[in-house]
Amino acid sequence: MLIKIKLFTISALIFLTSLVRSDEGMWIPLLLKKYNIEDMQKKGFKLSAEDIYSVNQACMKDAIVIFGRGCTGELISDKGLVLTNHHCGYGQIQSHSTIEKDYLTNGFWAMNNSEELSNPGLTVTFLIRMEDVTEKALEGVKVSDDEVRRERLIKQNITKLEEENSEGKKYEISVKPFYYGNEYYMFVYQTYKDVRLVGAPHSSIGKFGGDTDNWMWPRHTGDFSLFRIYADKNNNPAEYSPENVPYKPKMFFPISLKGVKKGDFTMVFGYPGTTEQYLTSHAVKMIMEDSNPHKINIRKIKLDIMKADMDASDAVRIQYSSKYAGVANYWKKWIGENKGLKKLDAVRKKQELEERFSNWLKTKREMNTIYGNVLVNFEKIYREFTPIQTTYDYISEALLSLDLIKFAGNFRELSGELTEDQLIEISNSLKGKAKAFFKDYNLPTSKKLVTAMIKIYRDSVSTEYHPEAFKMINSKFKGDLNKYVDYLFENSILVSNEKLDGFFEKLSVKSAKKILEDPVYKIYADIVNVYVDKLLFALRSNDSKLNTLYRQYINGLREFQKDKIFYPDANFTMRITYGQVDDYYPNDGVFYEHFTTLKGIMEKDDPAIYDYDVPQKLRELYAKKDYGRYADADGSMHVCFIASNHTTGGNSGSPVINANGELIGLNFDRNWEGTMSDIMYNPDQCRNISMDVRYLLFIIDKFAGASHLIEEMNIIE
């Protein structure tokens, strides 16, 4: 999520006592019976731990998938139908869209299996089982080992575990650290590669409110899309083939039409990405005062450039809509996170905990010997690390994230010694990447982005970290950045499909290395050299130091607060979080109800604004109150609801499940006031936002007329 603390392997697992709150924490399904199920049942859950996770019987975990690379999805029919968010399927929807077939704007619905669209590269992944492998992963590791030796031994042990459990590469094995590396768990996965687009609503339904409403409540977004998993005739994973058949799941979720009311038990089941609840005050201060502000500013510049060009051209809107959404998502999240941390006075609260911990250590000689220098060392490392982090933020956000620079990186494969066969293989791969790149590329937009990002990097970062190519700006172009960028775009083959085609036509083993002289490739290589030569060692060094300190710190806190509730930090492994449907007060004098309705969509309707232009058919259904069996008991059409489940990125697309194990909603966001929950959770501020499953069914049935999909599902009246 945030700073290069990604490097720090900040994933903590602390198994808690019966004092746990239902609305805070992300729990490992394997351990629910031991730590959570009684509390869940007290809160209203009517099933057992085995119904959620089991290796002996079909259970809910068999209906949950990793969708793509960073979302969750769930099975909702016995024909492999997968439900996830619209924003999770957005890249696929966009890839199939053209001016003539604008599925982003108008939606897409396959009325039979033959109309479903394939998505090369898209996968869904099932968890087969998980296992505590701490003893095996730490075999041979001693407390006295330095981090280098420790990591080398652990890596060897993990490799052995992978070889022993993959069953001839039938399964993918992931061994993840918890407790900052004090414990390890193994996750055995199976991946399906033939995943086809089945349905997506109009963008003004699936993305209703756009970036204005993103991370906000009240919310009126029908954020869903539908895909189908295909398998071979034996139900096994297979590459795309017309001969493949719909996957037969072990388990799929029944769908409830009963709706939700305040206080109802809710459970979110999925793959939360990253939380960092145990960061020290020094880290939180760096995030709030340095890292987030810089990243927010950089992304705002990008967004303004893209939006201006997208507003001026439908073609550019389609090309850049997915990129824009990707940039905007965490831009707005970081703004909300900073506001939430400030409102919560997070740094002071962290400092108070650290002071109490330090005072306790003074009374415990043995503990002070082990943990006495931990906080002092944290302060020193973060003080030294902050300027390095700032430079990393700029090089990653401003330069390496430019689509043209990332595209140039693909051509690194041509820089070595190649055989003729290798050249053919690489060039075919590059041609495919080029086709995908130029489909969603507009040269004038790219040129504006390159200019703006080089400028902000040059103006904000010490010359010590400037790429070598920047010297040309002063030496050859007298400091004129615009002339330098003109030079890049006039002389590079990577900025034009036509130029690149000419390069491929003449490509030979002898000419391949000419790419090294391409000005865009050269600036890419220079940026990478700065990162590798001047930043990477410092980042890894701090990673190692901080990993050791956090491993000690969390153990010290557990000794200090034996009765305190600790819970697992998220690390994109399967988790359960549970809470209840609830309203909240975001500010003094402001109250938010726990649900929204179709009436709110009509109140926001504005044909002049793309994200608020409600489709005419939806207006007509609202006017007639034609909601069918999907209306609430009060006759209204509910759209979204909020609850106190502790969620984060990766939980997008996660099912929201009621006390009976039935699907009642689709998780897709958090409230802006609660986005700091990755770092510090506050039950009064934090709410997860979900689409009411009845609105989903209403859109599929009444709006899209895709009733054949409804017939696949198990609807509970």
* Active site residue ranges: 87, 223, 652
Gap between the terminal Cα atoms of the chain:
40
Helices assigned H by DSSP within 440-508: 443-460, 471-475, 481-491, 497-505
CA distance 442 to 293: 29
- The interaxial angle of helices 443-460 and 374-394, nearest 10 deg, is 140
Place of tokens 């701090």: 542
User: In this structure, what token pair is assigned to residue 330?
Assistant: 């965490």
**Residues 244, 90: Cα–Cα separation, whole Å:** 24
Nearest to 713, CA basis, from 201, 257, 183:
257
Tokens in use for 353? 């905990």
Q: How far apart are alpha carbons 242 and 240 in whole angstroms?
A: 7
State phi, psi for 39 to the nearest 5 degrees: -65, -40
Q: From 220, 337, 286, select the one nearest 603 (Cα to Cα).
A: 220
Determine the residue type at 634: D
Q: Is residue 445 within 8 Å of 327, Cβ to Cβ?
A: no
Measured between alpha carbons, how far is 640 from 33 in angstroms, rounded to an integer? Answer: 31
579: nearest Cα among 260, 236, 237: 260
Helix 497-505 / helix 420-439 crossing angle, nearest 10 deg = 170
The single residue listed with the structure tokens 């057992």 is 48
What 3-state class would DSSP assign to 144? coil
SS3 of 116, please?
A: coil
Residue 506 class from Cβ within 10 Å (0-12 exposed, 13-18 middle, 19+ buried)?
exposed
**Residue 703 carries which DSSP code?**
I
- Which of left, alpha, beta for 676 (phi over 0: left; psi -120 to 50: alpha)? alpha
What DSSP string runs through 189-208?
EEEE-EEEEEEE--HHHHTT
Cis peptide before 655 (omega within 30 of 0): no
* Pairing mode of beta strands 715-716, 255-256: parallel
CA 300 to chain centre: 20
169 in the Ramachandran plot: left (φ > 0), alpha (ψ -120 to 50) or beta?
left
Beta strands in 253-294 (DSSP E): 255-256, 265-270
What stretch of H or E contains 91? helix 90-95
Query: What are the beta bridge partners of residue 716?
Result: 256
User: What's the token pair of residue 617?
Assistant: 């058919």
DSSP strand pairing (265-270 vs 655-657): antiparallel
